[in-house]
Amino acid sequence: MAENNKKKAKVAKVCKALERRNMKAFYVGTGKEACAIVEKILEKEKPSSIGVFGSSTLREIGLIENLKKKGFNLIDPYEKGVTNDEVFKRKNDSFCAECVLTGTNAITEEGQLVNIDGLGNRAAAMIYGPKKVIVVTGVNKIVKDIKTAFKRIKQKAAPKNNIRLGYNNPCVKEGHCVECNKTNDKSICRFSVVIERQKFANRMNVIIIGKELGY
């Protein structure tokens, strides 16, 4: 109980920090509640197109399937059976969508969103373009500061992402990052991005779920 209250207080602090940075923040206990918030935002905004970015969290909570079942028109490059050309097209279309759904690699206690991208499309769309950005993340992505965020991404998330994507980069064998991005064209760590704040209020909606989700 005490541990739970401590966690709640910590996330409440992060939500306040996000709001100070002009982002809308939500804290929910379950993936189902997070799905309901996303639906509510989409129903209100009625975006002409909804892009989906690579995120284990979105799929773990069943958000993508749920939205498809409810008739939302998603641009999903990760749908099974899609050809490589179509994947590329959908990634481009997602980047230009009116609303995008994504996870984040880390959030600092001060409310900064920290990400490392291989292609850069996700981080770029989070920064500029889509009118609405919906970020869904587990409480495990909260870290103390930017330095800790990059350390966490490189040491924990990136090796697992390499495995998920089927890449044989050195961190897969070593179990930790060896900074191969200095010399290796196949590194998935090409763009390191910190989002400090938003220009437009409520453009970015960050939904934090009180569970361990994603990498």
Residues that bind ligand SF4 (CB under 6 A): 154, 158-159, 162, 169-171, 177-181, 187-189
Give the chain's end-to-end CA distance (angstroms, integer).
Answer: 26
Which helix (H) or strand (E) segment is 10 a member of? helix 2-20
User: Is the distance from CB of 37 to CB of 27 less than 8 angstroms?
Assistant: no
Pairwise CA distance, residues 30 & 103, whole Å: 15
* Residue 49 tokens, joined: 């197109």
As measured in angstroms, the least distance from the Cβ of 182 to ligand SF4 is: 8
Q: Which amino acid does the sequence have at 56?
A: S
As measured in angstroms, the least distance from the Cβ of 130 to ligand SF4 is: 26
Our CB check for ligand SF4 shows the closer of 101 and 171 to be: 171
Our CB check for ligand SF4 shows the closer of 121 and 169 to be: 169
As measured in angstroms, the least distance from the Cβ of 188 to ligand SF4 is: 5
Our CB check for ligand SF4 shows the closer of 104 and 162 to be: 162
As measured in angstroms, the least distance from the Cβ of 176 to ligand SF4 is: 8
* Residue 140 tokens, joined: 């495990």
* Residue 156 tokens, joined: 């924990």
- Other Cβ atoms less than 10 A from the Cβ of 86: the count is 12
Our CB check for ligand SF4 shows the closer of 162 and 198 to be: 162
